[in-house]
Chains A and B, each alone.
Chain A
Amino acid sequence: MDVGNWSHVGPSVLASFLASLVEFVEALTIVLAVGSVRGWRPALIGTFAGVGFLALLVIAFGPALQLIPLNVLQLVVGVLLLLFGIRWLRKAILRAGGVLGMHDEEAIYVRETAALQQEQAQQPERMDWIAVATTFKAVVLEGLEVVFIVIATGALGHNLLPAALGAAAAGVVVISLGLALHRPLARVPENTLKYAVGILLSSFGVFWIGEGLRFTWPGEDLSLLGLAGIFLLASLGAVALIRRATTPDAKALPVSRQGETS
């Protein structure tokens, strides 16, 4: 594949791989927590049911996307992708600035495990639908994000296959590590990944909105790199400003008050 193709396909594959990596890590944490506390049978039933449900959704609604006019699809997907990506980017900036607590898979694992143990103690004799529902919900929610990211970064630029391969590679990496380690992947630099993914997805979102509104991007597809670069510089500037303005108070806050962890 030549450099021109890579500049076209690369951003889709990279965005899809990194975003899916984060989603798979989050789903794996819940599945591991459920499996270790409530048993692997209900955990895996919920997981496979979630994967099956996602497959049905893709089969049912995937072909319908081709019926929507391209510029409408670009606009709708662009808006959703921008909202999705900028949500991550905003949180990443606030975390890097010390305003919010860092996402911690180990802490989430401990919290989920404790909650599941408590529920199990209260209802020991019942069929373990809670365990099934917990993994089903985690897999469907995180999986929906993966499906959305693959469609949003791949389908509109005719890069669906490379984007899907990027997501699949992330799935293979995370599942392999999860099987090998049997513990949450706490060493994955998830906050940094979310920062990078937030920048990439926001850039794709802005780009597709512009395409949907028939604006002309200087450099066409290559402008994606410029958008990502400017998002990066602007967000780094924001982090520096926030740190300078809030550091003494942010340090004084106990971790439990620093807010969101997802």
Chain B
Amino acid sequence: MKALLTALQEVYGLFVEDGSLAVAILLWIGFAALLFPHLPEGAAAWRAPVFFAGVVLLLLENVWRSARQKR
């Protein structure tokens, strides 16, 4: 049981290091999945670029916050 838990922790650690960034990205993906399809048809071409911009902004906010906390 302990070995299984350790293995699961190791696998979790492959994908998540800063929980707040992971949660923010997952929420953004959920938001995009639920809301973007309801945007007007004319906005369809912007869905992917706006989604990408959101990911970049989340990353930048996280590294900036992490850098300030570690000062």
Answer yes or no: are A and B bound together in one complex: yes
List the interface of chain A (C-beta within 8 A of B). 79-80, 82-84, 86-87, 89-91, 93-94, 97, 99-100, 137, 141, 144-145, 148, 202, 206, 209-210, 213-218, 223, 227, 230-231, 234-235, 237-238, 241-242, 245-246, 249-250, 259-260
A206 and B52 contact, CB distance less than 8 A: yes
CB contact between A99 and one of B36, B49, B66 (< 8 Å): that residue: B66
CB contact between A145 and one of B14, B17, B37, B63 (< 8 Å): that residue: B14
CB contact between A213 and one of B14, B21, B33, B67 (< 8 Å): that residue: B33
A86 and B66 contact, CB distance less than 8 A: no
A216 and B16 contact, CB distance less than 8 A: no
A99 and B67 contact, CB distance less than 8 A: yes
Residues of B within 8 A of A209 (CB): 29, 51
The answer to whether residues A83 and B71 also contact, given A213-B33, A234-B56 and a CB cut-off of 8 A, is no
- Tell me how many residues of B have a C-beta within 8 Å of chain A: 35
Within the complex, what minimum Cβ distance (angstroms) separates A24 from chain B? Answer: 16
Residues of B within 8 A of A93 (CB): 59, 63
CB contact between A210 and one of B37, B48, B64, B66 (< 8 Å): that residue: B48
B63 and A94 contact, CB distance less than 8 A: yes
Within the complex, what minimum Cβ distance (angstroms) separates B19 from chain A? Answer: 11
CB contact between B63 and one of A83, A90, A217, A249 (< 8 Å): that residue: A90
A259 and B70 contact, CB distance less than 8 A: yes
3-44 of chain B: CB within 8 A of chain A: 10-11, 14-18, 21-22, 25-26, 29, 32-33, 36-37, 44
Residues of A within 8 A of B22 (CB): 83
B67 and A215 contact, CB distance less than 8 A: no
A141 and B47 contact, CB distance less than 8 A: no
B51 and A231 contact, CB distance less than 8 A: no
**Please, could you name 12 A-B residue pairs with CB atoms under 8 Å apart, sorted by A?**
A79-B26, A79-B29, A82-B55, A87-B14, A90-B17, A206-B52, A209-B51, A215-B47, A216-B47, A230-B52, A234-B59, A245-B68
B49 and A218 contact, CB distance less than 8 A: yes
- CA separation between A161 and B49, bound complex, in Å? 30
- CA separation between A237 and B57, bound complex, in Å? 12
B29 and A246 contact, CB distance less than 8 A: no
A87 and B67 contact, CB distance less than 8 A: no
Within the complex, what minimum Cβ distance (angstroms) separates B42 from chain A? Answer: 13
The residue of chain B having its C-beta at the shortest distance from the C-beta of A91 within the complex is B17
Within the complex, what minimum Cβ distance (angstroms) separates A133 from chain B? Answer: 10
- CA separation between A210 and B29, bound complex, in Å? 9
CB contact between B14 and one of A79, A144, A216, A237 (< 8 Å): that residue: A144
The answer to whether residues A97 and B67 also contact, given A144-B11, A145-B14, A218-B48 and a CB cut-off of 8 A, is yes
Residues of B within 8 A of A82 (CB): 25, 55
